[in-house]
Amino acid sequence: MTDSSIQQVVLKIHSRCNLACDHCYVYEHADQSWRARPTVITEETVRQVAERLAEYAKDRKLDSLCVILHGGEPLLAGAARLRTICAELSRRLSPISALDLRIHTNGVTLRPDHLAVFREFGVKVSISLDGDRAANDRHRLDRRGRSSHDRVLRAIELLRTPQNRHLYSGLLCTVDLANDPVAVHDALTALEPPRIDYLLPHSTWENPPPPGPGDSATPYADWLLKIFDRWEQQGRRIPVRTFDSVLSTLRGGPSLTEALGLAPSDLAVVETDGGIEQADSLKTAYDGAPETGYDVFRHGFEEFAGHPGVLARQRGLDGVSATCRSCPVVKSCGGGLYAHRYSAERGFDNPSVYCADLRALVDGIAERVTERGVAAPVYNAGELHFAQVDLVRTLLARVSESVKGDPAGHEAWRVLARLDADPAAAAHLDRVLAHPFVATSLLRSLRGPQDTSRFMALAAAAAVRAQAPVTLGWEQPGRRLYLPTLGTLTLPEPGHVEVEVTADGHLIRDGRGRRWVPGERPEAWRPLETVAAPGGPPLLVDDADPYRECFAAPVAPPLEASDLAVFRKRLSRTRELLDERRPRWSEGHYAGTVTTIVPLIAGAAPQTGAGHGLGALGVAVDFEPEELLRVLPRIAREARLAALRRTADLHPPGNRAGQLLNEAAGHLGDGEYRAAARVLTELTLLPASELTGTGAVLAAQLWGEWAQRHG
């Protein structure tokens, strides 16, 4: 099931600030609840937060959880209190789930003693900075009216030193139309942040954003597109989350930020008094907008997750206004940030107050990046597979920037780079990277929280397949150590593990020196099974990957041996029927569209999921081979179309051609040839500019399939 658990918690540890930013949503907007909050969170409240989070992580079996220390200004809590908070959170959560600790700060008072705490607990630091001195000081002055710029730069220089560089998470910049966008971007990139976030000023229909200096109807899009052009000139050297998210969704991928896209909200906020609230940005809507009535002393996070306000932000397309649902770019903008939709008349049932800007931004990026030539993957299944693995390599490199500061993560990246440089070993690395849920785990790490243990397991699995001599060690947050494409070892308890690989095999050790040799089939080791069939590659049956829960239907728990045997028998029969009735299936365009079978609960329909790589197919544990054979052509076409969209441009984003391609592929997959001809005819009559070269080739292929079947 697509996971809508709470994955991120903003923990307010200090409710006051040493700056007087006039655009701050906490102090300068409708909600003024900060005035009644305790200035500093108490140790008792921290303990209760940690207890509630531990309960929730255990009940939900969360592999990782991100806690963001926030304010006000969190550094005002002091280094000693920060250490107490981090220690308590780590004590309760680390045995259950990988804890990703972060802090968002203005950086003004960042000192070496703070950084010593952050190094001890691996706390990643994001700093707010609005550009060069002139841009930053337009709003970000201290309470005496003095510039904060030099003090923030000193903080960033501390983060850029070798001992702290791995803690440097990125820069947060609020858009101001009065500033030169290129000058702002150049000032930020000069500080070499791992990532930049450009944030639209918090506004609603009741309190619209500041107008631009000219008469443009979309001044915020114009401002951001100037930065996009500069970013392109720089070779996209530093990730910009807004742009990365739009580019991802235009290719059919997931949103990478709460402010854009249709991904469900996974955020909770805990105030200094222990109150559990919705997203902080709602403070800009009206007084009390984020409130739920819950607190950590009387309620758990499971109750919070069921609050109507939380559920409203997890409904995807059904949760946006009718105007947004009919918009061709809704999958990219997602109706905008929830708070920005508010009006007194209709509540949040509106497009974003930035609607025109978001449409212009998405369209502007789409026009700039649309490749109108013909991409090789449309001709050849092998090329498509190669292109998908290449995309995963890009994700892997992006995630590595976050883990390389950790010695274990750095060693894992060195192992992966060494395997990639060896042609013989690279083929084994490709096999692991092609596993569909590797892409899922990397994408989630980019969105946060970072799953370092998964990154380590990925490197270990690739080394095992390549038989590359290496030893990798890391802290395993749960008892189940899953090695992608290989299997699962159930450990006696969480803690330190080492995977040692030699040319003769591999063994796994824990922190107490206990050893398991998977090749000797110990009871604690459960390998993944495959299903072979004549004329095609084996199918992997994966009922263990913790990232496989990305289907509309719930996944089945790991199958008992007898149930797994029956399931494999049904799959073997399906492959036999496929070879009898479609003997050239594995040689055509749809080869490789199904490589990994995930057992779903009984009665579930066969389905692909969301946010995984090419090849995953969810199938009910009690499926019938004839039924799977019937729907497989449609599923394979959907999978190929989604993979092509991740790889190449088929049409300018948001136009009618995209929907027609979906409909044509679906009708052909279902054997509805008359409907397919009608849709393909409409597609053919569109202006030539509505399809790229790749899209035109795909349309011709669909016509060819129609002629072959219909004729």
The pLDDT of residue 4 is: 65
Above 90 in pLDDT, residue 451? no
Mean pLDDT in the chain? 91
Please tell me the distance from the alpha carbon of residue 203 to that of residue 172, in angstroms, as a whole number.
17
> pLDDT, tens digit, for every residue of 42-75?
999 999 999 999 999 999 988 889 999 998 999 9
pLDDT band at 711 (very low <50, low <70, confident <90, very high): low
User: pLDDT exceeding 90 applies to what percent of the chain?
Assistant: 69
Tell me which residue of 109, 100, 43, 44 sits closest to 79, measured CA to CA.
109
Domains of the chain with CATH codes? 8-369 (3.20.20.70), 377-614 (no CATH), 649-710 (no CATH)
CA–CA separation, 356 and 218 (whole Å): 6
| pLDDT single digits (tens) 479-531 | 999 999 999 999 999 999 999 999 889 999 999 999 999 988 888 999 999 99
Report d(CA 596, CA 616) in Å as an integer: 5
Q: For 552-606, how does the pLDDT look when each residue is reduced to its tens digit (9 = 90+)?
A: 899 999 999 999 999 999 999 998 888 888 777 667 888 888 999 999 999 999 9
Paired with 710 in beta bridges are none
- Tens digits of residue pLDDT in 629-677: 999 989 999 999 999 988 898 998 767 898 899 999 999 999 899 999 9
Listed residue (34, 42, 43) closest to 15, CA to CA: 34
Band (2; pLDDT cuts 50, 70, 90): very low
Residue 224: per-residue pLDDT = 98
CA 491 to chain CA mean position, Å: 28
**Which value, in Å, is the radius of gyration of the alpha carbons in the chain?**
26
The residues that bridge with 294 in the sheet, in sequence order, are 276
For 164-202, the pLDDT digits (tens) are: 999 999 999 999 999 999 999 999 999 999 999 999 999
Name the residue among 493, 500, 463, 460 with its Cα closest to residue 476.
493
**Three-state secondary structure of 250-281:** HCCCCCCCCCCCCCCCCEEEECCCCEEECCHH
Q: How far apart are CA 150 and CA 147, in angstroms?
A: 7
For 306-331, the pLDDT digits (tens) are 999 888 887 888 889 999 998 888 88
For the range 573-577, what are the long-range contacts, defined as Cβ-Cβ under 8 Å and sequence gap of 24 or more?
573/625, 574/625, 574/628, 574/629, 574/632, 575/531, 575/533, 575/536, 575/539, 576/533, 577/625, 577/626, 577/629
Cα separation of the two ends of the chain? 40
Please report which confidence band the pLDDT of residue 680 belongs to, taking 50, 70 and 90 as the band edges. very high
Residue 72, preceding bond cis, omega within 30 degrees?
Answer: yes
DSSP 140-182: -BBTTS-B-HHHHHHHHHHHTSTTTGGGEEEEEEE--TTS-HH
Tokens at 694, concatenated: 């790749």
Section 609-618 average pLDDT? 87
Query: Does pLDDT of 271 surpass 90?
Result: yes
Dig out the tokens for 366 from the structure: 């789409």
List, in order, residues 6 or more apart from 580 with CB less than 8 Å away.
none
Three-class secondary structure of residue 241 per DSSP: helix
- 431 Ramachandran zone, left/alpha/beta (phi>0; psi -120 to 50): alpha
Q: How many CB atoms lie within 10 A of CB 310?
A: 22
